[in-house]
Structure formats: structure tokens, C-alpha cells
């Protein structure tokens, strides 16, 4: 199947539209679009924007013909598939509100997933639910009980030509209406629906295209990011559409099986733009470069914006990736650390282009005890390296505030708050939570901690995850990364640190997925090594608990959920739906 072109036949417009439907109407006049690829990298569907528009408009009439009324919600289980994209945009044309739901890959079994989707569909007040064919039998009992007007696959949506022909022309969603519901990742709580208006979406898209990435006519994107996550949905579906850019898609499942295929698509299509959390770069580095005796070489020289976002940025991971793939043309200067979240539609800040990732190395003792990101000196014993994530995008304000709400100077760690035109309207049907997150003056409390440096924002972690030990603020990722870097068998995400209160004292707990620990002697040695490492390197007395590989809970976007790990630890509930949290594994006492 012939691939879609990179260069277009119409003048490029970088998000200068009022709504998504206006953007697609314009993009449909050109030749670019979305290409979908299988696990071998072959194109399974080339979908020009013109064909996408025609499919979306036809599906919009079918939705209205099935009895859905303007403003009703349509839940879509968002596999990486042309039907999902068409259904999302059909809702825009029909005046309906789409809500993208996750696939079951991040959940612990069939029943857990069904329960999760049921809660999300109910929370979104969905009148319709589209699912992949493979999941239809799973979710059919819920759909019947929920009384949904429409349930099934997009392809199986019935056609009533006579009824549809009698309908008036659909009226698309307007700028000040909710364009979609984006469910938060759920790293610290059950996911809630983020309500994003068309106006906020297009404002954020313009910031991404014009300022963050500075798109041009020769840009092309590759993405494996899930479409139910803000970085996949906005960053690599809606923003490219509004910039008339071609995107080549690989599903997250295929990426997990063959991470190198991501790089092969970038190489084969001469892509210039692609993003990933740190773990995606780490997976590629672990697999290494292609074997020249068996595989064609890579050429990553076209990749000008290798973005990092979606989780804490790990400088060592990026450095290893750059070193590993430098012989294949990858330039470290291509890295673009970024900061964003669903509540801000997506983008809050971008590091300057063509500078690579710039880090700030600070005195970890002062950071923990004083909340000051003091530069490390030659005599500093404990160091911590953070990535600078750039200044806020134009029109967005960012402040660092203390617990009382006072603005802090540079290098003082505090709560990150932002204000700007791209923020959410609020959490859908959650008035109290919306009021807690958004101040009357329009400031969004991000839930993150960080500091300012030379006009750029530096993120240090989530406020709810912070561990307080003897007056010290200990970041859980510091403990987790120390364990992962020290254990030869450990992978990214194999450790979870949190604290619990025992007899009025904060007790640090470290859960570690025990890969390669088949017998009790090995497990005992491993727990002793981890406890000793945390004691000597971080001065933390921790209870180390070994858990089975694949046990630690994840969010729908693949991030570690420390809050869920903690609650399961406290309740001793199954972490993967198949057995105890730590079957036959013993916790080591602190000290």
C-alpha cells in the first residue's frame, strides 16, 4: 500500500481555526493524512484527511439517525485504529461529546477491566459505547444493563439511509462547547473526566504547532502513544490534523513487543517529530542497535524533535539512548523535554529546540531538608540531576508557590500552578474537585512540585507522592531509580516507594518486582541488598517487599501508580488479580 506524502499541496496553516471541524475541512483539501502500520511496519490503512472527513461526516449522520441528541456523550475504547479516529471526529460534526477510554493492557485481568470501563462510561454519562471487535463480548453485558442507545464496533454501526436523509445538516460543536472528555491517567486517584472546550483545545494546539515545535512543510510524525492519553490524542492526532501533517501510527501493543519498530518507522518515513516517555527510549536502548548482518541499518538523522513527556524525565536514560543511536544518525540536540497534563489540554512548556536536554545538578541534602535546589559544588556528596523543561508557552503563566500560596523565587521548590487560555473547563460533573483545582482567578493547581531556573520550569515530582522522613522531603523516584540502577535484572518501573503510618511514625516501604529470584536464599540476599542500598545512599530505613514480576499497578498510560500500590499493600489485596500482593515473599524489617 502506498504511503501518504509528507509535502502537501495546500498552504500550511498552523492551527489557525476555530474548531476541529474547520481544521479537518481545510486539511481535506490536501493530500496528507494518517497512516496505520502493523507489527511488521507495513501500512494497513492510508487515510488521507479527505477520506477521513468523508467517513466522519457520514458516521455523524448515522449517530444522529440512531437517535442521539446534541450534547450526548459517546464513549470510545481507543485502540490505534482508523475507526476510532473517524468516530472521534464524527462526534465533532454531530455535536456529540466523545470520551476516549483505555484498552485492557494496563489492567489486571478481564473482570478488573470490565469494571474499570463500566465506571468510566458511567462517569462520562455515555449514551453510546464503541469497542474493538475483540472486546465486544466482554462488554456486552454491561452495555445491556446500562441501556446504551448504541453499542458495538464502529464498522458494525447500522445504516438507515431514509432516516439519515431526512435529518437536517448536523451542526458541529462550537468553540465554547465541550470538545471531548479526556480521562486523567489515574496515578494518584481514580481517573476523572477532564472537560476541554474547543477554544481551549485550539489555543493549545496553536501553542504546540507555532511555538513548541515550530512546524514546517517538511515535518512528518511517527507515534506509538495511545490515543486515550493526552499526549497521543492531542499531540499526535489533533495537533497534526490542525497543521495538516502526516502521522504514521504504530499501536502501543506492537511497540511493546518490538520497540525498534518505532525507530524503523522514523527511519523509513524520514519522520521529524516523535515523542515518548523516558521508558520508551529505555526500551529501545535495552534492545540495542540492529544487527547489520541481519537487519537494514537505521537512519535517524531526520528526527529533529525527539520529545520527552508523560512522566518524570530520566536524564541518564536519554544520555544512554543518544550514545547508543548516535552511529545511526541520532543527535542528542534533538531531545525536547516538555511539561504538560490533560488539565492543561496538553502542553504547558517546551524546552528550546536544538538544545537537547539540559540538566541542573543540585545538592540533594539541601533539596530534601530545605526545599532549595542549590547548585551542587565539588564537595557535594549527594547529587540529584533534573531536566529543564523550558519556559511556559506564550499566553500561559506559571508560578511556584508555597503552602500558603505565596510566590517563591528561583530555586525554591514549591507547588506548580499555571494559568492560560488552554486550561480545562473543569472536571466533568465534579464541582468540588473542579473548585479545588481551579481558583476563581483561573489558576490551575497542577499537583506537581518544582522550581524555576533561568525562566524555565523544573519538575521534581508529584506532591501527593512525596515521602516525609524526619523532616526531610524524599522523592520516591529517587529511591526507585537507585534500586533499578543497582539491580542488574531490574527494569524501569520495577520498584515502587511510598510511606505508611505505623504507630504514629512514617515507615518507608519499597516494593520491588523480583526478577531472577527463584529461591528463598536469593530473595533474602536481594532484600538485604536493597535495604542496605537505601540506607547507605539515601539514609532511609525501608521495609523491602519483593513482589512477583508484573505485579506493580500501572495507570492506563503505563505510569506506575504509587497510590494504588500503597493501598494494595495496606489492604493486602491482589495486585494483579491472580493472587496475594507478595506471594510467599517476606518483608525485611527496617534497621
Residue pair 305/213 in contact (Cβ under 8 Å)? The answer is: yes
For residue 78 the three cell numbers come to 481507543
pLDDT in tens, 415-471: 999 999 999 999 999 999 999 999 999 999 999 999 999 999 999 999 988 888 877
Q: What are phi and psi of 299, to 5 degrees?
A: -135, 100
Q: What secondary structure letter does DSSP report for 211?
A: I
What does the pLDDT read at residue 565? 86
What does the pLDDT read at residue 107? 55
CATH 3.30.300.30 residue spans of the chain: 466-588
- Decide: residue 16, CB within 10 A, 0-12 exposed, 13-18 middle, 19+ buried: middle
Closest CA to 417 of 388, 457, 455, 387: 457
What does the pLDDT read at residue 42? 95
Residue pair 264/250 in contact (Cβ under 8 Å)? The answer is: no
What does the pLDDT read at residue 587? 41
Instruction: Give the CA-trace dihedral at 102, 108, 109, 110, to 10 degrees.
Output: -40
Q: What are phi and psi of 501, to 5 degrees?
A: -95, 125
What does the pLDDT read at residue 185? 61
Rounded percentage of the chain residues whose pLDDT exceeds 90: 70
What does the pLDDT read at residue 581? 41
For residue 216 the three cell numbers come to 514546517
Q: Which CATH number, 3.40.50.12780, 3.40.50.1860, 3.40.190.10, 3.30.565.10, labels domain 20-257?
A: 3.40.50.12780
What does the pLDDT read at residue 383? 92
What does the pLDDT read at residue 108? 60
What does the pLDDT read at residue 487? 83
Distance CA 33, CA 47 (A): 6
Helix 49-65 crosses helix 20-27 at what angle (to 10 degrees)?
130
Q: What secondary structure letter does DSSP report for 77?
A: E
pLDDT in tens, 210-251: 999 999 999 999 999 999 999 999 999 999 999 999 999 999
For residue 258 the three cell numbers come to 518490538
Q: Which residues lie closer than 8 Å to 317 by C-beta, 6 or more apart?
A: 278, 279, 281, 282, 285, 492
What does the pLDDT read at residue 577? 38
CB atoms within 10 A of CB 137: 9
Per DSSP, helices labelled H in 517-561 are: 520-538
- Tell me the CATH class for 466-588: alpha beta
What does the pLDDT read at residue 1? 62
Residue pair 182/191 in contact (Cβ under 8 Å)? The answer is: no
What does the pLDDT read at residue 481? 85
For residue 182 the three cell numbers come to 479526556
Q: Which residues lie closer than 8 Å to 285 by C-beta, 6 or more apart?
A: 317, 320, 321, 324
pLDDT in tens, 516-529: 666 788 888 888 98
What does the pLDDT read at residue 154? 96
CATH 3.40.50.12780 residue spans of the chain: 20-257
Measured CA distances, 49 to 2, 7, 170, 236, 285 (Å): 15, 14, 19, 14, 34
Residue segments in the chain with a per-residue pLDDT below the cut of 70: 1, 105-108, 185-190, 504, 516-518, 556-557, 572-591
Note the pTM of the prediction, 2 decimals: 0.88
Q: What are phi and psi of 84, to 5 degrees?
A: -65, -45
Amino acid at each position: 500500500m502506498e504511503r501518504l506524502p509528507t509535502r502537501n499541496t495546500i498552504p500550511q496553516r498552523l492551527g489557525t481555526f476555530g474548531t476541529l471541524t474547520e481544521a479537518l475541512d481545510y486539511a481535506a483539501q490536501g493530500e496528507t493524512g494518517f497512516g496505520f502500520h502493523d507489527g511488521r511496519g507495513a501500512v494497513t490503512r492510508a487515510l488521507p484527511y479527505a477520506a477521513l472527513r468523508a467517513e466522519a461526516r457520514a458516521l455523524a449522520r448515522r449517530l444522529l439517525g440512531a437517535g442521539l441528541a446534541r450534547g450526548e456523550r459517546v464513549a470510545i475504547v481507543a485502540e490505534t485504529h482508523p475507526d476510532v479516529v473517524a468516530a472521534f471526529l464524527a462526534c465533532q460534526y454531530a455535536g456529540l461529546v466523545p470520551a476516549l477510554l483505555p484498552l485492557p493492557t494496563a489492567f489486571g485481568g478481564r473482570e478488573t477491566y470490565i469494571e474499570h470501563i463500566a465506571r468510566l462510561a458511567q462517569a462520562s454519562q455515555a449514551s453510546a459505547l464503541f469497542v474493538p471487535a475483540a472486546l465486544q463480548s466482554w462488554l456486552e453485558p454491561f452495555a445491556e444493563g446500562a441501556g446504551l442507545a448504541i453499542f458495538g464496533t464502529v464498522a458494525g454501526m447500522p445504516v438507515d439511509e431514509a432516516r439519515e436523509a431526512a435529518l437536517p445538516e448536523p451542526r458541529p460543536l462550537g468553540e465554547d462547547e465541550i470538545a471531548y472528555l479526556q480521562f486523567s491517567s489515574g496515578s494518584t486517584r481514580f481517573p476523572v473526566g477532564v472537560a476541554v472546550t474547543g477554544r481551549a483545545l485550539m489555543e493549545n494546539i496553536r501553542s504546540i504547532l507555532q511555538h513548541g515545535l515550530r512546524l514546517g512543510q517538511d515535518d512528518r510524525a511517527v507515534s506509538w502513544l495511545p490515543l486515550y492519553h493526552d499526549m497521543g490524542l492531542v499531540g499526535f492526532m489533533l495537533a497534526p490534523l490542525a497543521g495538516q501533517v502526516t502521522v504514521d501510527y504504530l499501536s502501543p501493543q506492537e511497540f511493546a513487543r518490538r520497540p525498534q519498530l518505532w525507530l524503523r518507522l522514523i527511519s523509513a518515513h524520514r519522520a521529524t517529530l516523535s515523542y515518548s516517555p523516558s521508558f520508551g527510549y529505555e526500551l529501545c536502548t535495552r534492545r540495542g542497535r540492529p544487527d547489520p548482518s541481519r537487519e537494514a541499518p537505521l537512519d535517524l538523522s531526520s528526527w529533529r524533535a525527539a520529545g520527552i513527556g508523560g512522566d518524570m524525565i530520566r536524564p541518564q536514560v536519554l544520555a544512554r539512548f543518544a550514545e547508543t543511536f548516535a552511529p545511526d544518525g541520532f543527535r542528542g540536540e534533538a531531545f525536547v523535554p516538555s511539561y504538560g497534563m490533560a488539565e492543561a489540554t496538553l502542553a504547558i512548556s517546551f524546552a528550546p529546540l536544538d538544545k537537547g536536554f539540559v540538566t541542573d545538578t543540585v545538592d540533594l541534602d539541601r533539596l530534601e531538608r530545605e526545599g532549595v535546589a542549590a547548585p551542587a559544588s565539588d564537595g557535594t556528596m549527594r547529587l540529584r540531576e533534573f531536566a529543564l523543561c523550558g519556559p511556559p508557552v506564550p499566553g500561559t503563566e506559571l508560578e511556584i508557590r508555597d503552602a500558603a500560596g505565596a510566590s517563591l523565587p528561583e530555586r525554591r521548590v514549591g507547588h506548580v500552578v499555571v494559568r492560560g487560555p488552554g486550561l480545562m473547563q473543569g472536571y466533568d460533573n465534579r464541582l468540588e474537585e473542579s473548585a479545588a483545582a481551579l481558583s476563581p482567578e483561573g489558576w490551575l493547581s497542577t499537583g506537581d512540585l518544582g522550581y524555576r531556573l533561568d525562566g524555565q520550569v523544573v519538575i521534581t515530582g508529584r506532591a501527593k507522592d512525596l515521602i516525609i522522613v524526619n523532616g526531610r522531603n524524599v522523592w520516591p523516584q529517587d529511591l526507585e531509580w537507585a534500586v533499578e540502577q543497582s539491580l542488574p535484572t531490574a527494569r524501569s518501573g520495577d520498584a515502587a516507594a511510598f510511606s505508611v503510618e505505623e504507630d504514629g511514625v512514617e515507615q518507608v516501604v519499597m516494593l520491588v518486582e523480583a526478577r531472577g529470584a527463584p529461591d528463598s536464599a536469593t530473595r533474602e540476599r536481594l532484600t538485604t541488598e536493597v535495604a542496605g542500598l537505601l540506607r547507605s545512599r539515601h539514609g532511609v530505613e525501608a521495609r523491602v517487599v519483593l513482589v512477583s514480576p508484573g505485579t506493580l499497578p500501572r495507570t492506563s498510560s503505563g505510569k506506575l501508580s504509587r497510590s494504588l500500590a500503597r493501598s494494595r499493600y495496606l489492604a493486602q489485596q491482589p495486585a494483579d488479580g491472580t493472587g496475594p500482593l507478595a506471594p510467599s515473599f517476606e518483608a525485611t524489617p527496617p534497621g
